[in-house]
Amino acid sequence: MKSLHQVVISIVISIILLCAGISFAQENNDGKVSGAEWTKIIESKVTNQVGDKGLVNYEDGYIESVGTGAPPEKYYGKPQARPLALRAAQVDALRNLLETVQGVQIDSTTTVKDFVVESDVINTAISGMVKGAQIVKKEYLSDGTVEVTVRMPLSGVAKAILPKAIADDKKQDMKEHKPVAFSKKPAPRDEVFTGLVIDGRGLQARPAMSPKVFDENGAEVYGTLIVKKDYAIQQGICGYARDLTAAQSNARVTDSPLTVKAIRVQGAGMSEFVISNEDAQNIRSAKDNLSFLQKCRVMVVLD
């Protein structure tokens, strides 16, 4: 009878532990990204990982960071332990997020940090966005520590940075990279394009919020000297994809995009694309093409 009693107790304890485990798993699964999922995202999306604490997903348009926290030793095993560890993890995650955001590449030579240092207005805007970041995952570890993942939209950074980036480039780059005039003629009926796809694969190119496209003579074919500011702020200067077919069918470039292959990349950040003069002339051959470029209907394909 005693043995039966022990069996019953064991079963009850097992059920309690199972329920606790389910509850724990549900609490840990309230977010969207884990370490393993980061690896999958990096392998399938256009991203930039910043150390082991930050991730910039250019394709899906967000920035994430991870933070870890532990309760003060005197609270171990007490009810306050978990809330204190959670708070410490949140603070660490936001600190890591700020570092990640500051490292985001704007163009081939500048990062967000360059703009933050130069402008108090941008600094305040970026700091506010970081503080308002969303918690997308909480993980309570067996040693009492907590890991938190926070996320903020990349579009917010674009709205804060791009107006100044566009204005600066119009002052500094207009002489060196002045765009060649587009034809004032409409495109032939069989050459009416709705967007541009830049194939930058195989060149070790890297993503940036404001990439540039030049012809072989150095004149800008697409970039801050071409786009209309309102469109750039609203939807970003370009979209990114890892797959050419996916880029060509993306709603951003609609039904009939023109696809050109970059012949090389340049700049410290490897985000300036050079296309052939022939392709550049084809793009400039109709006023219709300038229209969709001004509206930022451009996709970039990277490895």
Query: Do both 140 and 180 map to the same domain?
Result: no
Distant-in-sequence, close-in-space partners of 128: CB < 8 Å, separation ≥ 6:
none
User: Are 194 and 153 part of one and the same domain?
Assistant: no
Q: Is residue 126 part of a domain?
A: yes
Tell me, yes or no, whether 46 and 154 share the same domain. Answer: yes
Q: Are residues 179 and 244 in the same domain?
A: yes
Residue 78 lies in a domain: yes
Asked whether the predicted pLDDT for residue 21 surpasses 80, the reply is no
Q: What confidence tier does 44 reach under pLDDT thresholds 50, 70, 90?
A: very high
Instruction: Specify whether the CB–CB gap between 296 and 227 falls below 8 A.
Output: yes
Cα within 13 Å of Cα(109), Cβ side = 7
Tens digit of each residue's pLDDT (9 = 90 or more) over 159-181: 999 999 999 999 988 889 999 99
**What would the pLDDT profile of 113-158 be if each residue is shown by its tens digit?**
999 999 999 999 999 999 999 999 999 888 888 999 999 999 999 9
145, 190: one domain: no
Q: What single-letter DSSP state applies at residue 111?
A: B
Whether residues 39 and 155 share a domain: the answer is yes
Does the residue 274 lie in any domain?
yes
pLDDT, mean over the chain: 88
Residue 23 within a domain: no
Do both 191 and 75 map to the same domain? Answer: no
Strands 134-140, 146-153: pairing kind: antiparallel
pLDDT value at residue 34? 53
Tell me if 183 is assigned to some domain: yes
For residues 48 and 157, state if they share a domain: yes
- Is 39 a domain residue? yes
92 and 206 share a domain? no
180 belongs to a structural domain: yes
212 and 245 part of one domain: yes
> What's the domain range around 255?
173-301
Q: For residue range 245-289, what is the model confidence (pLDDT) as tens digits? A: 999 999 999 989 999 999 999 999 999 999 999 999 999 999 999
Give yes or no: residues 50 and 144 share one domain: yes
Which whole-number Å values give the CA distances from 130 to 27, 51, 161, in the listed order?
24, 18, 14
Final residue in a domain of this structure, among 135, 161, 187: 161
Q: Give percent of the chain with pLDDT exceeding 90.
A: 75
Residue 12: per-residue pLDDT: 42
Query: Given this model, what pLDDT does residue 173 score?
Result: 86
Bridge-based pairing of strands 212-214 and 220-222 is antiparallel
- In angstroms, the CA 266 to CA 286 distance is 27
- Read off the pTM: 0.84
13 falls within a domain = no
Same domain, 114 and 211: no
In total, how many domains does the chain have?
2
